[in-house]
Structure 1
Amino acid sequence: MRVLQVLLSPRIGGAESAVASLAEVWEGRGIACHVAYLDQDKPGGAFARASGLRAAIRELQPDVIISHSALPNAYSRLVAGAIPVICVLHSAARDFDDPKLKFAERLLQRRTRSVVAVSSAQREEYAALFPMQRVVVIPNGVSSRFTPATEFDARGPIVTIGRVVAQKDPALWSLATRTLCEENEDVLFEWFGPLSQGSLPDADERWHLDAGSRARFRGPIDDVERVLRGASVFFHPARREAHSVALLEAASTALPIVCSDEVARTLPGWLPLSVFASGDASDATRAVREVLRDLASWRRQAVLAASRVTSEFGIESAASSYLAEVDFVQR
């Protein structure tokens, strides 16, 4: 079997991490996997995206297409012809609040064989708008590469991983980290991921890019598991998530997690989380302090939870669930 997965562009993000992990598992099972991007080098127009994806389909002749996120979902159904398409909803944003996307989705319902949501809340949001469509929930899976460090360094940095964009709330991160750096000269914060222009005022951005800053933007990385094993805490400032791969990876690595209350609602109740009110920098500062005050205890709880994360959210299970959905759409 040949599977073509479709993404918007080659960048760092939850959908991209999920695609890579799924491909790794499927290729290990003898399934040929390929990835196509709507925007390979730079954002393109509608015609360029459609013709590029159509050319990739002609070349690869896939048995099934699995598209990830709103725009790839739309273009894949437009050009796939008779090839079944599984549309995966990843975004933490309400994509269909956009009138153009909502209109396109209504037009494409007749070509929609299957929709996968990565969380129950996401399924409910989609079903409220498109009640006749079949939607299944397949939570994101975490790769078996993510395991706890053999030796935990309590002096390790407090890390954040993901694109630096408004939805991840870099402004909250900036305020909280500045305060905590002023309070504690030993604390170090690092945010790994591409920095989007305009995410912060220029002066704040320069401060966080300065080599002498103790709260730094470090840019994109490939070796996420190494960074997590060297960290002491995972600080996730985002206001909202669907079902964050980054958080699952941190939990599998046995890192104490600090996140917003809205994000916490997407995670199992048994995970040790220090929670703050979404968008409240002062409360986020308190939540980080709470973990640092008794880091050894938080680490013990995180180690106990890590094996359960791997058991319940392992990528092998997610990959099998997708293959069951492939069987369904090919009937």
Structure 2
Amino acid sequence: MRILHLVLSPRMSGAEILVRDLALYQQHGGEAVAVAALMPAHDDFAPLRAQLAAAGVACSFPKRALRPLARLWYLHGVMRRWRPDIVFAHATIPAFYARALPTRVPVVYVMHSAVNDFQRDLFRWTERLLSRRARAVVGVAQSNVRDYLAEVGPHPRLTVIPNGVDTSRFGLPATAPSHATSLLLQIGRYDAVKNQLHTVRAFQATLQQVPQARLALYGVIEDSVYYCKVRALVAELGLIDKVSINGPCDDVPALLAQASVFAMPSASEAHSIAFLEALASGIPVVASAIPAFAFAEGHDAVQLVDCADSAAYARALVRALAQPRARRPLEGLTLHDTARRYQAIAHEVLGVA
């Protein structure tokens, strides 16, 4: 089977991490796999592209930004060269372009968004027009399916496939991080929905009880204004020597192995890859009490709290710093589980027994 994964712009972010993992898994399983994009790759995607290339996964990304019609023509060229049996279009805009092409190649639309894309009139009406051009519509979370039904309507193949994590890359380190380090870690793009400002404020309160603690932030700068607010707050609170503000990192397993606590105060998520990776690593986790994280409630060393309450958030961080790592069940949430479900969708769409 020849599989094409289509993304908007390759970068170090959740949907693209899933695409990388799926492409590698499928390629190693004997499929012929390619990854294409409608926009140029971000610099931070270079390590992931190297991993794909080393495994024999073809990559096709435009070298410069393209206008809408040029994007369509570029995708047409990719389809002609690659001749896929099936296209998985990850996120709404790539799915629009894939279904706008006059092709008989089946398209599976994969919804990754943590927000309701179809509240935008243009997106809602475009999706209603193109809906049946998708041979299947997949949501990474039940909220995606709920929004689709409410805003677009029913589809004959509408299903949920949760994201999965490659557990072979994670696990409890041979030696736990020293309590002397007390390193708090947050990974996520710099954007108001990720709430790095909440973490910085809670960290200041945490220092009153754990003065040796440090905080490390990593992520793509999606909102430069918000990123500047994070830097400004760190300076205002006198935490420059205690907080490191970094771009994205391609070695997440190493970050999680070195850290003492993982923080994820997101206001909303669909089905976060970063959260799954933290669970797989065994690191104590403090996260928002939002529906996307509810499945982890009750797991060892996982606290779900109101992260907008700085005092409550700080208390949870202090408790987490005293907790050991834990082995957690991830049945149904491994990369193998996810890849098997994508394969089942492909076989169903293509009529393969």
TM-score, with length taken from structure 1: 0.90
Aligned to 1:81: 103
Match of 1:237 among 251, 265, 268: 265
Of 172-181 and 239-248, deviating more is 172-181
Aligned to 1:227: 255
Quote the offset at 1:228 in angstroms: 1.0
Quote the offset at 1:290 in angstroms: 2.7
Quote the offset at 1:142 in angstroms: 0.4
Conserved? CA contact 1:239–1:263, under 8 Å:
no
1:283 partnered with 2:305: no
Which structure 2 segments of 5+ residues have no match? 42-63
Superimposed CA distance per residue, residues 289-317 of structure 1 (whole angstroms, 9 cap, x where no aligned partner): 2322x323xx2xx22x1xx22x4311011
Of 274-283 and 312-321, deviating more is 274-283
Give the counterpart letter for 1:89 in structure 2: M
Aligned to 1:7: 7
Separation in structure 2 between the aligned mates of residue 90 and residue 251 of structure 1, nearest angstrom:
20
Same amino acid, percent of matched pairs: 31
Aligned to 2:187: 161
Aligned to 1:136: 159
Quote the offset at 1:263 in angstroms: 4.9
Matched position secondary structure for 1:113: strand
Give the counterpart letter for 1:146 in structure 2: F
Q: Give runs of aligned pairs for residues 54-73 of structure 1, distance below 5 A.
A: 54-73=76-95
Q: Residues 203 and 69 from structure 1, CA distance in 2 versus in 1: closer, same or farther, beyond 3 angstroms?
A: closer
1:120 partnered with 2:142: yes
Superimposed CA distance per residue, residues 37-74 of structure 1 (whole angstroms, 9 cap, x where no aligned partner): 11115654322322222221111111100011111111
Give the counterpart letter for 1:92 in structure 2: A
Separation in structure 2 between the aligned mates of residue 291 and residue 268 of structure 1, nearest angstrom:
15
RMSD across aligned C-alpha pairs, in angstroms?
A: 2.3
Separation in structure 2 between the aligned mates of residue 94 and residue 157 of structure 1, nearest angstrom:
34
Q: Residues 211 and 223 from structure 1, CA distance in 2 versus in 1: closer, same or farther, beyond 3 angstroms?
A: farther
Give the counterpart letter for 2:266 in structure 1: A
Match of 2:174 among 147, 150, 154: 150
Separation in structure 1 between the aligned mates of residue 256 and residue 76 of structure 2, nearest angstrom:
38
Separation in structure 2 between the aligned mates of residue 238 and residue 16 of structure 1, nearest angstrom:
19
Quote the offset at 1:171 in angstroms: 2.1
Conserved? CA contact 1:142–1:315, under 8 Å:
yes
Q: Residues 242 and 184 from structure 1, CA distance in 2 versus in 1: closer, same or farther, beyond 3 angstroms?
A: same
Aligned to 2:198: 172
Give the counterpart letter for 1:49 in structure 2: R
Give the counterpart letter for 2:285 in structure 1: I
Aligned to 2:47: none
Separation in structure 1 between the aligned mates of residue 11 and residue 67 of structure 2, nearest angstrom:
18
Q: Give runs of aligned pairs for residues 240-259 of structure 1, distance below 5 A.
A: 240-259=268-287
Separation in structure 2 between the aligned mates of residue 267 and residue 44 of structure 1, nearest angstrom:
40
Separation in structure 1 between the aligned mates of residue 347 and residue 92 of structure 2, nearest angstrom:
23
Q: Residues 264 and 94 from structure 1, CA distance in 2 versus in 1: closer, same or farther, beyond 3 angstroms?
A: closer
Matched position secondary structure for 1:313: coil
Conserved? CA contact 1:176–1:282, under 8 Å:
yes
Q: Give runs of aligned pairs for residues 84-103 of structure 1, distance below 5 A.
A: 84-103=106-125
Q: Residues 266 and 79 from structure 1, CA distance in 2 versus in 1: closer, same or farther, beyond 3 angstroms?
A: farther
Which structure 1 segments of 5+ residues have no match? none
Superimposed CA distance per residue, residues 61-89 of structure 1 (whole angstroms, 9 cap, x where no aligned partner): 11100011111111111126111011111
Separation in structure 2 between the aligned mates of residue 106 and residue 181 of structure 1, nearest angstrom:
52
Quote the offset at 1:264 in angstroms: 5.3
Quote the offset at 1:278 in angstroms: 5.1
Give the counterpart letter for 2:188 in structure 1: G
Conserved? CA contact 2:182–2:214, under 8 Å:
yes
Separation in structure 2 between the aligned mates of residue 4 and residue 82 of structure 1, nearest angstrom:
14
Conserved? CA contact 2:189–2:220, under 8 Å:
yes
Aligned to 1:325: 345
